[in-house]
Amino acid sequence: MNNMLKAGSTIGILGGGQLARMLAGAALKMGYHTHVYDPNPKSPAFEISSLKTIGSFEDHGLLKKFAKTCDVLTYEFENIPHKALEEIEQIVQIFPRKTSLYISQDRIKEKQFFKSLNLETVEYATICSFEDFSKSIKQIKIPSILKTCREGYDGKGQLLITNKTKKKDVEEHLLQGPCILESFLKFEKELSVIIARNDNGDVVSFDPGENVHKSGILYSTTVPSQISKTLQIDSIIIAGKIVNSLKYVGVLGVELFLTHDDRVVVNEMAPRVHNSGHWTQNGCAIDQFEQHIRAISGHALGDGERYSDVTMINILGDTTKNFRNITNAAVHFYGKDEARPGRKMGHVNYVSPKTS
């Protein structure tokens, strides 16, 4: 996109969850309408969007009709059928480009992509059968993690391999489809970089965040991360290599491990705004959601500067009542009507003066 999207234009969003909800809010602030497409009639983003379409991602006729109402299109989650994007792309431009999504949808392709950039990853092997597993476990060793190649997130689709794991456990896991066996990395910290690139090739990164996961789900992100400036720069350089290689347009989340000997290991990427970037809503003048809208609509990117220290904590399941009366932090609820164990219902940003 070489020209700035005109005010009053419509930005289409595939997926109607909390990320789409916050993207729609950012677009509205910048003078744009949004049209959200999601199968769920109770999608949180529908409360914010200008237009909504309820439909399956397999309904190509409805997707085409939706696409014709949009001036540019983006998405809020990875598991969109590739065929659907091919149909839509004939009608309207999609950012981030579908190549990024195609890579991130498959953990093997993602690891191969990282390796092509000479980025360090954990040791891994492709597993399609128990025979593959039996051969590869000798090299990968125990403990290790067997993950489905596709559609796993927030700890889903993962099997921890230990000395107690039985053959039937592995075979049952493989029924979900091809898998990747990853070596178990003893890391010092979990980090993430939220980075943006526009179609002109301008790149801006937010400060790396330090993450804590519980039961495979992000619990908190803290900035500044307690790592050296050199390691912060190294992390941003890695994310920069990824977005430039992809000729990426939009915001990308890159998850990293920091080892005990200060090696930065790439875990995965998310071609969208990211949970670990929610701290930017109360720590930066331009947050990740506005940054994404800026990138896909042809605006100049915000500078990414952080003016506060922030700890973001996810509000999970039925814990929302614990956060209703908070008066010393910024609480963001997603408008979901059903609280299930582990479901992200909102987040809270605890803000303090900037220290470094």
Of 123, 121, 100, 110, residue with least CA distance to 266: 121
pLDDT at 156: 75
Alpha-carbon span 171 to 175, nearest angstrom: 7
Which own/partner contact pairs does 49-58 have at CB distance under 8 Å and 24+ positions apart? Answer: 49/13, 49/16, 49/20, 49/24, 50/10, 51/10, 52/16, 57/14, 57/81, 57/84, 58/84
Tokens at residue 42, please? 């109770």
Contact 250, 270 (CB under 8 A): no
How do the pLDDT tens digits run along the chain, 356 residues long? Answer: 558 999 999 999 999 999 999 999 999 999 999 999 999 999 999 999 999 999 999 999 999 999 999 999 999 999 899 889 999 999 999 999 999 999 999 999 999 999 999 999 999 999 999 999 999 999 999 999 999 998 766 667 899 999 999 999 999 999 999 999 999 999 999 999 999 999 999 999 999 999 999 988 999 999 999 999 999 999 999 999 999 999 999 999 999 999 999 999 999 999 999 999 999 999 999 999 999 999 999 999 999 999 999 999 999 999 888 999 999 999 999 999 899 998 999 999 999 999 98
pLDDT at 203: 98
> Could you give the C-alpha distances from 4 to 35, 51, 287, 289, 344, in angstroms and in order?
19, 22, 19, 17, 34
Of 268, 246, 271, 213, residue with least CA distance to 79: 271
* pTM passes above 0.85: yes
> Could you give the C-alpha distances from 50 to 46, 217, 336, 337, in angstroms and in order?
8, 31, 19, 21
User: How many other β-carbons are positioned within 10 Å of the β-carbon of residue 280?
Assistant: 30
Domains and CATH numbers, the chain: 10-94 (3.40.50.20), 123-183 (3.30.1490.20), 187-353 (3.30.470.20)
Of 150, 151, 1, residue with least CA distance to 73: 1
User: How many other β-carbons are positioned within 10 Å of the β-carbon of residue 69?
Assistant: 16
10 beta partners: 33
Backbone angles phi, psi at 52, to 5 degrees: -140, 150
pLDDT at 222: 98
14 beta partners: 37, 75
